[in-house]
Every structure is written in structure tokens, then in C-alpha cells.
Chain A
Amino acid sequence: MSYEIARNHEIHDAHQRVIDIFARTYRSGKPTIVLLPGGMGSHLDRSTRPFVNDQSIPFPMYDPVWMDVEMIFGRDLELLRMEANGHDAGEHMIIPTGPLQFLVNAYDGTRRFFEDLGWNYIVFGYDWRRSLEEAASQLSEFLVNLRDRVKDLRDFDPLPTTTLLAHSQGGLVGKIFLQSVSGDDGGGIGAWMKRFVTIGTPFYGTTSHQDRYYQGQSPLNIFYGKRRVAEIAGSLPGPYVLMFADQTALDAATQAKLGLAGYPITDSATGAPADPYDPANFGRYPPWVNPTYLEDSVLARETIVADLPGPVAKRVFHIRSGLNTKTASGLKWAPVVGASYDPASAVSPITAVAGKGDGTVPFWSGRLAQIPDAQVYDLKQAADHGGLAEHAETLAVVRKLVETGTMPKPAAVTAAIAAMPAATLGTPKASQPKTSKWIADARLGKLKKGEPRANDPEVWRRILEEAQLC
């Protein structure tokens, strides 16, 4: 048995455990929400033993690798690195097991909101390091198994009343899934889902990822060094698609539909478009950036931006925010010599151009050009990308959408928020220490009296926010 087939077995089993718990508490007649988390928003476990042959599985034990306290006090980031043959480091298999759940329970507010309404709620975890196409195929299998298991126990098919709710990168997985089950005319889409709702999904990319190949990522750089973080980022094929889209996907007609004045990445010396996927520009990348992954990402994008058949497009809705006017919504890219680029001593060749967005995803990138304006909701209060899926305003929009079948007007959303119990709205966050300094102090055992400890969930939330999860 190959590594790939064995990994399929293990991921299938992990998903099945989640589905089984869900099916046992399923409430017939209530809407179902299937959440697709953002990148880095799925929990990843690593087998304690390496894969050798078909006798290796099922592995008797897994350890959390994304994420746990070893991410900052140990070497867990190294374990996320992928080999060129697509295997996990050291042949220790890594599988997704649901939403991120270490101190910070990602999407906890989302879960509570829908469970309080009495709705059915389940999270599809996926390995955000790997290709979106793989995750989309797993989603198809996940939904089929979910349908079959609920039918077994409740004699009811949940999919026709299911909303696929995707945050950030999860929306890219969802779009590829939709394309894969739509066929030529989209006639059978109702058997798969009622609607597909994205929240802050970067359909045409973001600015936050390209710089990771040069300068790593704060605050992980503190523990591993810029170069090592950048090298590990280069070994992960999936996130390559998070860079701004290629010029074919963002052609002049698409730019006009999205309200863009021009291609969003320009050469800082000439002002000409500088496509990150154009082989002519590959010389600007450090050696750890993989040309094959860049090539694969162009193909993934082709599917992401492809038009959906009419009956499917009618079921697609986008929620986005443009309230943070300091969001990097364009880039200038200096023509560096990648082969000799040293993250430790060189400055980044990437410079951000500020515009509207949610702090991570530019406003213009948060919708598909094909989807009509009436199916797009521009948030009036929620401004922070990482918290969009848990924000009361977003949740009110989703609730109204599910209950009425159409995108609500802002006044209706405001009224819905006013009617929410205070517990749903959450409490304002207390002021927090500068995360990077806190981490450095914690590693050196220099935390002062009164400073939050490593088991303080709010600190971890800050760490994830600083890492600009997608």
C-alpha cells in the first residue's frame, strides 16, 4: 500500500468519526450548517509512528501538530514541512481532525450561535497545506458519507437543506467542490446543498502570502528564524494559490467587474504588471519557492474563477468587509535576484499598497465576478478578517439568508443584531500585550506578574491574528 492510499484511509476514518457524532444528534427538519474553515483553521494531528507499509495503519496514536504549545516552545513547525514527493516530514502522517482546537477554539462563536438556534452544525476539516483540489474531493466524500449516515439513523436526507458556510480559504475549497459536482447544466446541485455562503474568501488572492516566501511570518520568525519559516512555507503546495491571481484570471474584463483600476501587482521599478505566476518572474523567488507548485496554482485558480452554471450560481452568496482602509489591496514587487536572497539580511522586495478590505483580504477579492451584486453583502460593522465568521453581524446575515432564502438588507441585519442575546455578541476584548514580546518573554521565562500565561486563550487568539490566517 502506498503512502497516498494509506493517507486516504486515515483521513476517511477521521472524518467518519466526526460524522458519526453529528448524525447521532441530528435534528430532522432543522437547517444544517457545514463549516469550511479558513487556511490554518483546521486542526492537524501527526502520527506518532512513521508509515512503513499497510501494516502501519490504522496508527495507534496521533499527536496534535497544528497547533499546540510545541509550536512556540518546541519545533512543531518543522513537522509541518512537506517533502517534494508529497509525503509528510519523516513519513509521519498528518491528517485533519476538525476545527482548530488548542486553547483557542476557532469558530467557537459560530458553533454556539447555530447550536443555540437549534440548527445542525458540523465542521469539515481539511489539510490546508495541501492542494485545494484534494480538499474539494474529500468534501464530496464527506457529504456523501454524512448523507448516508444521517439517512441510516434518521431516515432523512440532510443535504437539500444544508448551507455550506466557508470562511476565507475554505471558500476556495468550496468553489472547486461546486465546480466538481455541477456538471454542464448544474441541474442536480440541489441534491448536494441548498446554498454556498463565503465569508472573506480571497477568490483572486491576498497580499499576505507572497511576502512569506521572503520574510517568513511573524510571530513564528521569533522561534524558527525568517529563513526557516520561509523555507517551510515554500514546501507547502496549497497556500501558493493565496497570492494574487495570474493575469489570465484577472483579465481586463474581470478587473472592471471587480472595480479594479489595474492589475494589482506591479514592478516597483517600471510600474508594469508583475504576475507572480509568470515564469518570466520566477527568478525573483528564493530557491525554496517551487515552480511546479506555482504552475499547479494557476490551474487551481482556473477552476476557482470558472463560471458556474446558472442554477448553481443562484445558490452562491458572498459576505465581505471593506471597513479596514489600511488593508494591503495591491503590491509593488522589486526585481530582486531570488537565488541570492537572504531573508536574514535583505529587506522584503514586497511593498503593500493600502486600500479597502478586512485587514487581510482586499474588498475587491472577496467575491466572484460572476455573482450578481444582490447576492453579495458588504458588512457595516465587522472589520477583522480572522473574526469575521464569529461576528454577530455576519452571523445575523447568515441566519436571515437561511431563513428567507435571500440576502437581507442592512436594516434587517441591524434589527437582528439588536434582538440577539448579549451572550451572542460577546464581550469587548481587554487590552493585550504585544504578542511578539510576550512570546519572547514566555520562552525566556521572563513573564512579569499579571501578564497572561501560556494557557490564556486570548493570547493564542492574538498569535493567530498576527499570523494573518487565511
Chain B
Amino acid sequence: MLKSSHRRVVTGLAILLLAASCAHRVDVRPNPRVGADVTQTLLLMNETAKPMTVMPALLGSAEPPLVVQPNEQKPLRFTVRLEENVSPGREREVYLVPETSSPYVTQSAIDLLMKARFGTGPAREIRVRLGKCLFGPAPAEPTHELHLKKPPLSGVPALQLCP
């Protein structure tokens, strides 16, 4: 029979062993930036018959909704950054820099994401697909027109910045 103090030690070791086998360590891989950040403008052009109300990206934001009337356009600035992973693949990732971007855009995977209502309809997402071409040797176009002729399908980019 093990004494209770021994039992505690054995139990503790078993728990530690279990924890070590369940958890896995992640390499610390700080990603260095590649080149300078790129700031671009998205020109939202409401070509539907209804006013478009763009909501701030973060819930609880103090920003008021942005209303774009039919046949009106509103510019939204955004800044993206290219980073290189310190992993064997050294793959590059495009990231939105929220601090220097419009409060109406956020990022979801490889897309810029906005949420807007058309008239009194439900809040729909508007996706703009990003890409590494924004960091190519030739300077990227500073402004991208986003023509919204109808409410976009959810999950389907309304514009591809790198076709």
C-alpha cells in the first residue's frame, strides 16, 4: 500500500503526465514584416435603389453607421501588411492593420469584411478578397471601385483585389 503522501505524489505525477500528453507546445515564431505597409482606398458605390447602411466592424463601437444613398459613393481607407512566417515554408500572409484602417472594415481569413443593410433588409456581409499582388513590384492602384448593383451573396467576394 502506498502512503497517502506517496499517493498524492503519484497522482500529481500522473496528472502532469496526462497534461503534458494532451497539451502541445507551439513554436514561437515572430513574423517579420516584408516591406512597408500599403494603404489603399475602397470606393463603395451604391448602385442599388435602396440606401446602404454600413455598420462599424466591432460590436460596441462608438462609430455611427455609415449611410450611402443610392447612386452615392463613400471612400473607406484600409492598410494591409505583408508578413513572412519563420516556419520552414516561409510563407507570406496579408494582414489588415486595424489601427490605420476604417472602423467599418475588418478581416476574415483572406477577405476584408464589411456588414451593411440594404434598405430595411438583414445585415449582409460584403467581402473583398485580398491578395499578395497588393505588394508587388509595381505600385498597386490606390483606389478600388466596389460597384454594388445588388446585395451580394453571403460568403461570395463582391470584389477581388488580386484577380
A→B interface (CB under 8 Å): 1-2, 4-5, 8-9, 11-13, 16-17, 19-20, 23, 45, 48, 58-64, 68, 84-86, 132-134, 136-138, 140-141, 144-145, 148-149, 152, 176, 179-180, 292, 295-296, 298-300, 302-303, 306
Contacts and interface: CB of A to CB of B under 8 A. Distances in A.
Interface of B: 22-31, 58-60, 85, 87-89, 91, 93, 95-96, 98, 106-111, 122-125, 127, 129, 153-157
A84 B155 contact: no
B109 A134 contact: yes
A180 B155 contact: yes
Contacts of A180: 127, 155-157
Secondary structure dominating the interface of B: loop
Given A62-B24, A180-B156, A302-B153, A13 B87 contact: yes
B111 A137 contact: yes
Nearest to B151: A299
B130 to A, nearest CB: 10
A149 B85 CA distance: 13
Given A8-B95, A300-B155, A61 B25 contact: yes
B22 A1 contact: no
Contacts, number: 124
A137 B127 contact: yes
B163 to A, nearest CB: 9
A19 B122 contact: no
Contacts of A179: 153, 155-156
A213 B72 CA distance: 43
Contacts of B89: 16, 19-20, 23, 145, 149, 152
Contact of B109 (A23, A60, A62, A140): A140
B87 A12 contact: no
9 A-B pairs with least C-beta separation: A133-B155, A137-B109, A299-B154, A141-B110, A176-B155, A138-B109, A303-B153, A295-B122, A85-B59
B98 A5 contact: yes
Contacts of A295: 122-123
B109 A141 contact: yes
B23 A58 contact: no
Nearest to B59: A85
Given A9-B95, A16-B87, A295-B123, A4 B155 contact: no
11 contacts: A2-B98, A4-B106, A5-B106, A8-B108, A61-B24, A63-B23, A133-B125, A136-B155, A137-B109, A296-B123, A302-B154
Given A149-B89, A295-B123, A133 B107 contact: no
B93 A9 contact: yes
Given A23-B89, A180-B157, 8 more contacts: A12-B109, A13-B85, A62-B24, A68-B22, A176-B155, A176-B156, A180-B156, A299-B124
Contacts of A298: 122
A84 B28 CA distance: 30
A60 B110 CA distance: 24
Nearest to A97: B24
Given A16-B91, A149-B91, A133 B25 contact: no
